[in-house]
Copies of this chain bind each other. A is one copy, B any other.
């Protein structure tokens, strides 16, 4: 009710704010994206594609100018979007003060991401160091983070992480101790035989990770009998531990999505026994 009431009083500034901001009044991603949202969404995805394709030499040599034009176009749009947001944010109660409200808004996570999306472009003008400019190009992929504004799956993901925080900390610390211990054991067993593959414990951790995740590139592996026995025991016991956080996250994810669906269904119809009319629990 009150929402509708306050909507009636919306100024132009507030309407613009609602246009450029994809989140609704409760900070959840909007269900129905408007044309502007879709335009920005597709622009972000095209930017990601452009960054990826630019690294391919043959494509860059041929279409380099188009990429540059698209980059300038994107930065202009994103800059306008960013400036508009800063200008319009004062229409919201929490950022109402013309100076302090805007400064407060600038330091919200989404506003920082918006800044990071355009900053590399402007920074490139401040230097002549070509290597630095090249490095900046990759940072353009940070624009993908702007997608977070539109994604309900990421907000779901955050929820899962929060729900299972305790379990994840417990298993993550087990995983970490396991990684350190197995790296130390293998260093102890293999350092003499393969000083270049297991030169020290931090480097041996690479073996731990590659083995415990079952990736097994084959660039480092034990060759001594003791090392192989250690590796066998570590692999059999450790892979189970490494799979724990995954299993917990996965189970929780499915559960959370199930809950969302049930809530949706529950709203539509409460189940009743067809014959006596009583609610079935």
Q: Footprint of B on A, CB under 8 Å?
A: 48, 51-53, 55-57, 135, 138, 141, 144, 147, 151, 153, 156-157, 166-167, 170-171, 173-175, 177, 180-181, 183-184, 187-188, 191, 199-202, 205-206, 209-211, 213-219, 221, 223, 228, 231-232, 235-236, 239-240, 242-251, 253-254, 257, 261, 273-276, 278-281
- CB distance A232 to B205 under 8 Å? yes
Closest to A48 in B: B180
Interface hub of A177, A191, A236, A251 (most chain B Cβ within 10 A): A236
* Chain B residues with CB below 8 A from A213, complex form: 214, 235-236, 239
Alpha-carbon distance A180/B245, docked complex (angstroms): 23
Closest to A253 in B: B244
- CB distance A250 to B254 under 8 Å? no
* Chain B residues with CB below 8 A from A236, complex form: 175, 209, 213, 242
Min Cβ gap A112→B in Å is 18
Closest to A209 in B: B232
Copies of this chain, whole number: 4
- CB distance B180 to A52 under 8 Å? yes
Given contacts A206-B232, A214-B216, 18 further A-B contacts (CB under 8 A): A52-B200, A55-B200, A57-B199, A156-B170, A167-B257, A206-B228, A210-B216, A213-B214, A215-B235, A219-B223, A236-B242, A243-B250, A244-B250, A247-B250, A251-B254, A273-B273, A274-B281, A276-B278
Alpha-carbon distance A214/B217, docked complex (angstroms): 9
Alpha-carbon distance A244/B157, docked complex (angstroms): 12
Closest to A219 in B: B221
Alpha-carbon distance A123/B228, docked complex (angstroms): 28
Alpha-carbon distance A216/B217, docked complex (angstroms): 5
Alpha-carbon distance A173/B156, docked complex (angstroms): 13
* Chain B residues with CB below 8 A from A251, complex form: 247, 254
> A144-B181, A239-B213, A280-B280 given as contacts; is B232 within 8 A of A187 (CB)?
no
* Chain B residues with CB below 8 A from A174, complex form: 153, 157
Alpha-carbon distance A56/B187, docked complex (angstroms): 11
* Chain B residues with CB below 8 A from A228, complex form: 206
- CB distance B211 to A215 under 8 Å? yes
